[in-house]
Chains A and B, each alone.
Chain A
């Protein structure tokens, strides 16, 4: 087996057709499956999985897009930090395109501010060493997959004695978000497709309370099309048998305990916040992380508190990102989808992040509306 097989081997058309046929045969009732993770939304839309699955299977898109759930005021934090003199703001990928209340990091960069879009958090070290007279602020985002990398960065910054590195931590956690959605009572979700790479880090043990509390099967699924199809099949079988357990389809990468070293690093530098506002959902207690008190000297929210706006900002009335993140609406239900709100002119974060449901629908989904023209 080669690394090509590890990718291509999970996209075999023969396997896909066979799995589709088996699911069609065994699926007896309507099943609403929430795929928590934005990456899974992407896989489902890009590979057109809804088109080869029976109508009885419906995907409900979950809040697993860390850029999408960032409330506007925290994007304004990033903008405020980037606007400080002698400051370099660094973040990963899509974050620079999200609009805050007045502008975006991308537009600010065009106006001359030093804003860096990184491929790896570790690049912050080099930037800080090359710019000793500047403040380098790392705007950290991501679910449990990316949190350990920020922890390593904190560790390195401290070990190297770097005094010009600061962190604005926006890491969030999956189980609390899922719990918040389910405890509302109005989400009609029968099963979960568990995130692939969050699970690599945390282990699949974190979903056991959910399966037990809400009697919903949770199948931890790999990222590739056959992984998702196989996971849907396992959900169908659990539902048919009246089971609701955590099952690990992604056994080649995920274990029950996860990556203990990564978990330990996270626990060394971060702790849970009591409260964190999720865009469109509201406050979810203990769903986000911050630096521990002993690292306050590195915490941008403490060190630069005076420049950070405090007001909580809500979205435009027409934006239904909140309902989409809660799985209560689909992008096509939104009146501004594809019209006032597009990837180049996004009104809500589901559209601006390429992991967001609206962006995925815009790029891959328009043909799925039967008879749609554009």
Chain B
């Protein structure tokens, strides 16, 4: 392990996983934490609860289709939703840099209010800190969220042979949107974040008794991170058809320009579902009815070909492993 923390440790890929396992788990070890799900699944006084936390340090703070506040609410709501838990209550802590504009703060807070209404979650406790200039980059937000588990046994451990993989939206929109907005790259596009609360579509699946094996929102590390985590946690092979993965034209443009793959870019309102083949059509029909998941697509299947690996099939009959994402995003040059 390196002596200093590098940017890649926060990338959500292999280095992040290693840091968590080799440092945090080493000292914080307990059975619940080691399950490594999106939220902890707890039992308190016989009630089944999901409990999660997240921090938001996105730069820039405002981007097409959202801002750090929207991310904070949707991100927390989604962590709970991915455990089959109805998001009930949240905490919210603001760490604000001296000199930050009050009008910007209010814009962010109003966005958060609007986003909370979509799932019904409420902020019930909070904290505010202001640090001198340079202490944080504008604004950082930390949240914790609690939800009631409505559907149990959704877990990365549950994938089975012949399961089908569904993705609820185009992949990579958020990551590509943020990258394109970064000043030093100077790209201009209409690309919007896909940031969205996913509780309503998830609730609809649960209410219809659709059997779900695993559910995860594809955040840092994108689709590739989710599929690789699932493959290694359930010890299965996941095979996806490249042609079936929905990718927005502009995201492909950013990838071509900068030398990335859309499967590594983060999403903030797109989930990946693993479920039995027989349930797939029902799930697709339900999800097509919601704006947030209207572009849902079936992209692959679970097999036993290569344990712990994800296989990508090209449209002309060749295939390769989709390796877990690594490092910070760096463009290829010659």
Contact = CB atoms under 8 A, between A and B. Distances in A.
Interface of A: 4, 7, 13, 16-17, 20, 38-39, 42, 45-52, 66, 92-97, 106-107, 110-111, 117, 119, 123, 141-143, 145-146, 197, 225, 343-344, 354-355, 362-368, 372-374
A66 to B, nearest CB: 6
Contacts of B185: 119
Given A48-B319, A51-B319, A374 B330 contact: no
B4 A111 contact: yes
Contact of B314 (A47, A142, A344, A363): A47
A119 B185 CA distance: 7
Interface in B1-41: 2, 4-8, 14-15
B332 A94 contact: yes
A17 B317 contact: yes
A145 B184 CA distance: 22
Contact of A146 (B259, B318, B333): B333
Given A7-B256, A42-B332, A355-B334, 10 more contacts: A13-B314, A46-B320, A48-B320, A50-B318, A97-B327, A107-B6, A343-B327, A354-B332, A367-B319, A372-B306
B319 A117 contact: no
Nearest to B311: A367
Interface residues of B, number: 36
A94 B333 CA distance: 7
Contacts of B307: 373
Contact of B330 (A17, A52, A94): A94
B279 interface: no
Contact of A343 (B317, B318, B326, B334): B326
A344 B332 contact: no
Interface string B248-271: 010000001011000000000000
Given A93-B331, A97-B330, A343-B326, A374 B318 contact: no
B333 A365 contact: no
A344 B326 contact: yes
Contacts, number: 104
A24 to B, nearest CB: 13
Given A93-B331, A107-B6, A373-B307, A344 B318 contact: no
A189 to B, nearest CB: 22
B309 interface: yes
A47 B314 CA distance: 7
Interface of B: 2, 4-8, 14-15, 184-185, 243, 249, 256, 258-259, 306-309, 311, 314-321, 323, 326-327, 330-334
A13 B330 contact: no
A225 B314 CA distance: 11
Contact of B321 (A52, A96, A355, A366): A366
Contacts of B323: 362-364, 366
A364 B320 contact: yes
Contact of A51 (B311, B317, B331): B317
A49 B318 contact: yes
A177 to B, nearest CB: 14
Contacts of A354: 259, 330, 332
Nearest to B186: A119
Given A17-B317, A52-B318, A92 B333 contact: yes
Contacts of A367: 306, 309, 311, 319-321
